[in-house]
Amino acid sequence: MCGIIGYIGGRRACEVIVKGLKRLEYRGYDSAGVVTGDGEGLHIRKGAGRIDPLVSELGLLNMPGNRGIGHTRWATHGVPNEINAHPHTDCSGKIALVHNGIIENYLELREELRKKGHTFKSDTDTEVIAHLIEEELKSSRNFEDAMRRALLRLKGSFALGIVYAGEPDRLYFVRNESPLVLGLGTGENFAASDVPAFLEYTRKAVFLDDGEYAVLTRESYTVKKLKTGEKVEKPVQEIDWTLDMAEKSGYPHFMLKEIYEQPRAIKDAIHGNSDLIPAVAEEIAKYSKVFFVAMGTSYHAALVGKYLFQRLAGKIALVEEASEFRYEAENILDGDSLVIAITQSGETADTLAAMKLAKRKGAKVMAIVNVVGSMATRVADITLYTHAGPEIGVAATKTYTTQLTVLTMLAMELARKLGRMREEELKTLEDEFMNVPQLVESVLSHAGGLEELAESLKDQRDFFYIGRGINVPTALEGALKLKEISYIHAEGLSAGELKHGPLALLEEGVPVVAITPSGRLFDKMVSNIEESKARGAMVVALSDSDELRETADVLVEMPPVNEALTPIVYVVPLQILAYHLAVLRGNDPDKPRNLAKSVTVE
Ligand code: G6P
């Protein structure tokens, strides 16, 4: 939801900023803008659309100056056009700033400032901040003081990059409930919404916390508290992501690269967590109430987590979308509750709010997160990382399968601790689990037919995905992937629910994708497939069983795998199918319309 990149040092700021914006485009891509400073002058260029065309249209690479800030936008207030694109300025044009987040009290502030004679150019909530600082500057000792006083009046979430023409040697960055991280170089410094934006130049990072701001010069960085202005000592963290991880490496899209990285990512998730899991499982076992909270794809991982906890370990767990939980869970949380938040970015506003509510109510909070140092890791009492590496494609793929990996490890260990599985049975499952990266690899190497399948399905208007038990979430995730990037309407549902309504929608040729691993629920799925066929549906079955060769219209052959591990393996062809459908329909799967990778507003 909007990306920010700032630079001060010896290079041409516009070059660093344009590169950074390209890496941040996954956060928003409806408009963009850059401000650079040379001496006391500010230069601003901005416009609607994606970065690449804007670079040439606006000449973003010909801007003078060694300090500057860029922004890529995902509109909340005001349509995406040139006027509403960031940076925004005050009346004098000496203060320019970019913003990620929402200012909730901007209407009253704008009214107040209008009465004092300020003229507003845009429809955004952001512009009010520039005018507010300008106003405070009239009665402040210096710019920093004015900025602090102005920002203390804001309600809402904001990460800001601010440049003042009167101070040619510095930039300001602020964080309050929207991400911001500093990158430390030699004779140069950076700030951004996310690490990949400056990974090419430095791996030394300082993560700001809520209510903090940083003053960056070429040679130094100082972090202070917004409330008091007092200095804060911050740890410098060494980031272990490589630049290669944040680049396409020959793949046409990040999403495809990330799908193919899954065997490696799953291995890293296993190795990165194996030492930690026993103690964490021990902790989980102590709580009688376990809640999973998450949004989007992470919510589907949470649903799988619940099935795993219950089936393997006999541990009851509830799952709720964080956006609901945050307003509904007040009366059910206490010291005997454990809330497990699952979030790739660690920045999803609803998930963070659910975690904070849990903390207020005395619950223990655990987070399963991909982005190192993100906000969720700061709120949580316990964090497990998914170790998937940076995920740039907006549609989550490798972060989903690594979330499932961590959840499976927890559930198996919990089963051991709670004595719910025989040791022998558990050992067999653990051995199979260690083989999951190879199984995913084999699915990927047999994925050729999926492009052909996509070709035959590309003009369909509706898809249905059905599954049972632990693969109901797989059906939901398959449908979500398709919706997100191909813009085809899709529904995921439990196969048992089919005849309670959705069956009425099936007619000749409508694709029904059936997740049908052999095992306990196989026969039940076959009945549902038959019901769908009887209504003319075109059934695409994912299965390791030959039995479906005749019943299904298309059989996507899967390797045999223990039921508990099917969600990780079976989602892979669904990701690839969605990817091909998106590409065949002329869409950019990495940047689906109207969506953003991290939703840092409610
Ligand atoms: C957005 C993304 C989804 C993601 C969801 C939750 O909607 O587009 O891909 O699943 O946010 O994000 P999180 O970072 O909390 O996992």
Sign of CA dihedral 430, 433, 434, 439: positive
CA dihedral 468, 474, 479, 485 (to 10 degrees): -170
Predicted confidence (pLDDT) per residue in 525-552, tens digit: 999 999 999 999 999 999 999 999 999 9
**Pocket around ligand 1 at a 6 A CB cut-off:** 295-298, 343-345, 348, 351, 394-396, 595, 597-599
Sign of CA dihedral 378, 380, 385, 390: negative
The CATH number of residue 339's host domain is 3.40.50.10490
Q: Where do we find the tokens 């919990």? A: 414
Domain assignment present for residue 111? The answer is yes
CA of 602 to the centre of ligand 1 (A): 12
The confidence score (pLDDT) of residue 602 equals: 78
Same domain membership, residue 374 and residue 334: yes
Domain assignment present for residue 549? The answer is yes
CA of 322 to the centre of ligand 1 (A): 12
Total domains in the chain come to 3
Query: 206 and 199 in contact (C-beta within 8 Å)?
Result: no
Structure tokens at 577: 């199918």
Choose which residue among 297, 399, 594 to substitute to test ligand 1 binding: the one with the highest number of ligand atoms within 8 A of its C-beta. Answer: 297
Q: Which of 434, 462, 492 is the last residue of a domain?
A: 434
CA of 591 to the centre of ligand 1 (A): 13
Mean pLDDT of 489-517: 95
The confidence score (pLDDT) of residue 328 equals: 94
Task: Decide if pLDDT at 372 tops 90.
Answer: no
The confidence score (pLDDT) of residue 79 equals: 86
Ligand 1, atom nearest to 295 Cα? 6
The CATH number of residue 178's host domain is 3.60.20.10
Q: Which of 215, 245, 275 is the last residue of a domain?
A: 245
Q: Which of 434, 459, 493 is the last residue of a domain?
A: 434
Same domain membership, residue 169 and residue 155: yes
Dist. CA 332–CA 324, nearest whole Å:
13
Same domain membership, residue 233 and residue 91: yes
CA of 598 to the centre of ligand 1 (A): 6
Dist. CA 236–CA 519, nearest whole Å:
50
Task: Decide if pLDDT at 1 tops 80.
Answer: no
CA neighbor of 32 nearest in space, from 66, 57, 62: 57
The DSSP secondary-structure symbol of 81 reads S
Tell me which residue has its CA closest to atom 3 in ligand 1. 296
Task: Please name every residue paired with 555 in a beta bridge, in sequence order, or none if there are none.
Answer: 541
Domain assignment present for residue 516? The answer is yes
Burial 375-392 (b: 16+ CB within 10 A, else e): bbbebbebbbbbbbbbbb
Predicted confidence (pLDDT) per residue in 148-196, tens digit: 999 999 999 899 999 999 999 999 999 998 889 999 999 999 999 999 9
Mean pLDDT of 373-389: 93
Same domain membership, residue 418 and residue 286: yes
CA distances from 356 to 349, 367, 455, 567, 569 (A): 11, 12, 46, 30, 33
Same domain membership, residue 292 and residue 396: yes
Tell me which residue has its CA closest to atom 7 in ligand 1. 296
Predicted confidence (pLDDT) per residue in 205-214, tens digit: 999 999 999 9
Of the chain, the percentage scoring pLDDT greater than 70 comes to 100
CA distances from 467 to 178, 366, 472, 491, 540 (A): 37, 29, 5, 12, 12
Q: Is 22 a catalytic residue?
A: no
The confidence score (pLDDT) of residue 198 equals: 96
Task: Decide if pLDDT at 575 tops 90.
Answer: yes
Same domain membership, residue 391 and residue 485: no
Predicted confidence (pLDDT) per residue in 277-320, tens digit: 999 999 999 999 999 999 999 999 999 999 999 999 999 999 99
CA of 28 to the centre of ligand 1 (A): 13
- More reliable by pLDDT, 63 or 101: 63
Dist. CA 410–CA 414, nearest whole Å:
6
Domain assignment present for residue 378? The answer is yes
Ligand 1, atom nearest to 596 Cα? 8
Model pTM score: 0.82
Dist. CA 72–CA 85, nearest whole Å:
8
Same domain membership, residue 159 and residue 38: yes
The confidence score (pLDDT) of residue 448 equals: 87
Choose which residue among 26, 194, 259, 298 to substitute to test ligand 1 binding: the one with the highest number of ligand atoms within 8 A of its C-beta. Answer: 298
Same domain membership, residue 415 and residue 338: yes
Q: Where do we find the tokens 């963290």? A: 237
CA atoms within 13 A on the CB side of 562: 19
Residue 373 — pLDDT band, cuts 50, 70, 90? confident
What average pLDDT does the structure give for the chain? 95
Same domain membership, residue 130 and residue 155: yes
Predicted confidence (pLDDT) per residue in 65-115, tens digit: 999 999 999 887 888 899 999 999 999 999 999 999 889 999 999 999 999
Domain assignment present for residue 75? The answer is yes
Q: Which domain holds residue 9?
A: 3-245
Same domain membership, residue 578 and residue 513: yes
Same domain membership, residue 450 and residue 375: no
Domain assignment present for residue 595? The answer is no
Of the chain, the percentage scoring pLDDT greater than 90 comes to 89
Q: Taking CA 328 as the corner, what is the angle to CA 326 and CA 332, rounded to the nearest 5 degrees?
A: 105
The confidence score (pLDDT) of residue 300 equals: 98
Predicted confidence (pLDDT) per residue in 410-458, tens digit: 999 999 999 999 999 999 999 999 999 999 999 999 998 999 999 999 9
Domain assignment present for residue 602? The answer is no
* String of DSSP letters for 391-449: --SSS-SHHHHHHHHHHHHHHHHHHHHTT-S-HHHHHHHHHHHHTHHHHHHHHHHTTHH
Tell me which residue has its CA closest to atom 4 in ligand 1. 296
Q: Taking CA 371 as the corner, what is the angle to CA 32 and CA 206, rounded to the nearest 5 degrees?
A: 80
The confidence score (pLDDT) of residue 269 equals: 96
Residue 170 identity (one-letter amino acid): R
Dist. CA 67–CA 164, nearest whole Å:
11
3-state SS class at 571: helix
Task: Decide if pLDDT at 483 tops 80.
Answer: yes
Query: 17 and 58 in contact (C-beta within 8 Å)?
Result: no
Query: 67 and 163 in contact (C-beta within 8 Å)?
Result: yes
- State the SS3 of 527-553: HHHHHHHHCCCEEEEEECCCCHHHHCC
The confidence score (pLDDT) of residue 249 equals: 78
Residue 601 — pLDDT band, cuts 50, 70, 90? confident
Same domain membership, residue 322 and residue 221: no
Dist. CA 137–CA 128, nearest whole Å:
14
Q: Is 234 a catalytic residue?
A: no
